[in-house]
Structure 1
Amino acid sequence: MTADSPDQPAPHALLRPQIALPFLIVALIWGSTWFVILGQNQGAPASWSVTWRFVLATPAMFAVALVMRRPLRIGPAGQRLAFFVGLTQFCGNYNFVYRAEEHLTSGIVAVMIGLLLVPNAILARVLLKQPITRRFAVGSTIAIAGIGLLLVHEAREAPLSGHVVLGVVLALAAMLCASVSNVMQANETGRALPMVSLLSWAMLYGMICNAVLGWITAGPPVIPSSGAYWAGTAYLAIMGSVVTFPLYYNLIRQLGAGRAAYNGVAVIVIAMLISTVLEGYRWSPLAIAGALLATAGLVIALRARKPVT
């Protein structure tokens, strides 16, 4: 984590309607997408479901870039970065997430992905020379302990099939793919590009990679006929990808990356509540303790601003 710049707004800035409203919208949408993914897994193989999501999202994101009058010519270096982001974020990350939700509840997967802060910080330290604060390290340790309790609870509740372990491995792989993508976007090439332009090309490359992976792993395209499936796909594509990314990056511009990342904690809370109501997630004392530890640890980590001297 890096220190906030001196011109960052006061903490109460988050309460201003022009900031609080998009903050809430992003948290509600991203918190709900974890559950919607379950329906996609039941309608088609994971890779084809991810492909259809970006078949819808990609042209919409290009349209956003055109409406915002952002240049779509990003140069060879930009195209290489876009391909890398598409491969890791919009192909690898999403494929692993969809498959993880075949073995774990959506709330648990959301909590695990919430630990993205940890590999992000480590990779940023190694690749971008960004410092890690003591508070961030303490918070991350607490959050990991909480995740451990949640996973112990999940293993106790799940059938004796070993699928919980597979789900954990898939979720960790998803987290690492997203982390590598997030850090690489912050390199010199990424900082010089309009975000919506980079995202448009990255989604296009991700869509192509997903289609290739789908054909290799599941055969020719599987096109579901269910209206509910396509409604869920449209929600994930338009609301979960196209609407939220511009809102979230605008929050980053107004609040700074540190404070904007508080959104991740809200997303986890919403995802766990939805999992409780719609998936019948059962809260034991162990799970409650784990959720409280994970949330507390994330809040502590996200509040870290001053680098270690």
Structure 2
Amino acid sequence: MSNEDIVEPPRSTRLAILIPFFVVTLIWGSTWIVIRDQIGQVPPSWSVTYRFAVAGLVMLGWAIAKRQPLRLDVRGWRFAAVLGLMQFVLNFNFVYRAEFYVTSGLVAVVFALLLVPNAILGRLFLGQQLGRQLLVGSAIAMAGVALLFIHEARQDPSATGNVLTGVAITFAGVLSASVANVMQATKTSRAYPMVPMLGTAMLLGAGMNALWAFVTAGPPTVEWRLGYFAGIAYLGIFASALAFTLYFGVIRVIGPAKAAYSSVLVPVIAMLLSTLFEGYRWSALAAAGALLALAGLVVALRARRPNR
């Protein structure tokens, strides 16, 4: 048998990709409950500011410990500023505000649509081709997401206006996150060490959030409650510093389209956790949606030529 006859498994099925992929999915699946707990006394922009101030400091501390250079040239600062704006300012401000109008489960479901703009922008700006198997997996997964969406929307059919507003705000967050995702697969991103670049972007994002929060909501405020501070720590350290490092690393290997399948599984994880901690009750519709999402994920991740 010649070397040409040997078909290597797709990179997305390797443990070096699958392990961080599922770690990120588990972490981000848990964040919706934590974010929901943050909504209340503190304006969302200040909560986002605290989150990424913690995350950025952790990232730069990690970079120093790894002896990675912190200095950036003009191009690096410009890239970090745009990344911070799209990922750590617009995306998260939209998400936090969406939860004023709809349940955290519905926000998670809508965010699963990240797969669509990631695939489109990856094709337009990175030239990444979508193979037939990836498209089939996407169709199966999105059918599952549609069932989850219908289930969530039926929970409170009287609040149609709130649902539409929440969905629109969430989708704005999806588009912002998608731009940041595609940025991570560019040559510019690869030119800089990831940890100091992300740390800088997070701190720049925290600064922009703080300015916006001060202008729109007034001086900084905090909720003097252990759960609030624990939530900030969890969201800053695990859901931001750790998860974004792993997730953007996955994007650099398998591309933004496949990496976005994490967002397809996130609502399933969020609902499972809600079952344990919030008494969430599964319906046949929700169960079918979850199974379809999982099936689509398996089909898509096994696609062999997603980027050619």
Residues 115-161 of structure 1, C-alpha deviation per residue, up to 9 Å, x if partnerless?
32221110011111111222222222333332222222222211523
Residues 29-79 of structure 1, C-alpha deviation per residue, up to 9 Å, x if partnerless?
222112111111124111111111112111111111111222112211111
63-72 vs 266-275, which moves further: 266-275
Residues 1:291 and 1:83: Cα distance change in structure 2 (over 3 Å): same
- Return the alpha-carbon distance in structure 1 between the equivalents of residues 12 and 262 of structure 2: 17
- Return the alpha-carbon distance in structure 2 between the equivalents of residues 187 and 23 of structure 1: 20
Aligned to 1:129, which of 127, 130, 134?
Answer: 127
107-116 vs 224-233, which moves further: 107-116
Runs of 5+ unmatched residues, structure 2: 1-6
How far the C-alpha of 1:19 sits from its partner, in A, is: 7.5
Aligned to 1:92, which of 82, 90, 93?
Answer: 90
| Corresponding residue of 2:106 | 108
CA contact (8 A) 2:44 2:93 kept: yes
| Corresponding residue of 1:291 | 290
- 2:40 paired with 1:42: yes
* Cα-Cα RMSD: 2.9
Residues 1:273 and 1:92: Cα distance change in structure 2 (over 3 Å): same
128-137 vs 189-198, which moves further: 128-137
Residues 1:292 and 1:102: Cα distance change in structure 2 (over 3 Å): farther
CA contact (8 A) 2:128 2:307 kept: no
Residues 1:246 and 1:156: Cα distance change in structure 2 (over 3 Å): closer
- Return the alpha-carbon distance in structure 2 between the equivalents of residues 231 and 43 of structure 1: 16
| Corresponding residue of 1:32 | 30
After superposition, residues 58-207 of structure 1 pair within 5 angstroms as 58-158=56-156, 160-161=158-159, 162-207=161-206
Residues 227-276 of structure 1, C-alpha deviation per residue, up to 9 Å, x if partnerless?
211111111101211233344456678x7558876655554432220122
- Return the alpha-carbon distance in structure 2 between the equivalents of residues 30 and 208 of structure 1: 23
| Corresponding residue of 1:273 | 272
199-208 vs 146-155, which moves further: 146-155
- Return the alpha-carbon distance in structure 2 between the equivalents of residues 55 and 71 of structure 1: 20
- Return the alpha-carbon distance in structure 2 between the equivalents of residues 126 and 252 of structure 1: 16
Equivalent AA in structure 2 for residue 64 of structure 1? W
Residues 191-221 of structure 1, C-alpha deviation per residue, up to 9 Å, x if partnerless?
1111112101110111011112212332222
Secondary structure of 2:62's aligned partner: helix
Residues 1:174 and 1:156: Cα distance change in structure 2 (over 3 Å): same
- Return the alpha-carbon distance in structure 2 between the equivalents of residues 165 and 251 of structure 1: 32
Equivalent AA in structure 2 for residue 274 of structure 1? L
183-192 vs 281-290, which moves further: 281-290
- Return the alpha-carbon distance in structure 1 between the equivalents of residues 247 and 121 of structure 2: 22
Residues 146-202 of structure 1, C-alpha deviation per residue, up to 9 Å, x if partnerless?
222222222221152321112211221111111011112222211111111210111
- 2:217 paired with 1:218: yes
Runs of 5+ unmatched residues, structure 1: none
Secondary structure of 1:305's aligned partner: coil
- Return the alpha-carbon distance in structure 2 between the equivalents of residues 180 and 292 of structure 1: 29
After superposition, residues 230-269 of structure 1 pair within 5 angstroms as 230-248=229-247, 256=254, 264=263, 267-269=266-268
Residues 1:66 and 1:111: Cα distance change in structure 2 (over 3 Å): same
Q: TM-score, normalised by structure 2?
A: 0.85
- Return the alpha-carbon distance in structure 2 between the equivalents of residues 21 and 132 of structure 1: 23
Q: TM-score, normalised by structure 1?
A: 0.85
Equivalent AA in structure 2 for residue 213 of structure 1? W
- Return the alpha-carbon distance in structure 2 between the equivalents of residues 249 and 84 of structure 1: 15
Secondary structure of 1:280's aligned partner: coil
CA contact (8 A) 2:112 2:145 kept: no
Residues 10-36 of structure 1, C-alpha deviation per residue, up to 9 Å, x if partnerless?
94x53xxx8776555444322211211
- Return the alpha-carbon distance in structure 2 between the equivalents of residues 7 and 159 of structure 1: 46
Equivalent AA in structure 1 for residue 81 of structure 2? F
Residues 1:220 and 1:164: Cα distance change in structure 2 (over 3 Å): same
Residues 1:297 and 1:154: Cα distance change in structure 2 (over 3 Å): same
Residues 1:205 and 1:248: Cα distance change in structure 2 (over 3 Å): same
Equivalent AA in structure 2 for residue 118 of structure 1? V
Residues 1:200 and 1:22: Cα distance change in structure 2 (over 3 Å): same
Equivalent AA in structure 2 for residue 128 of structure 1? L
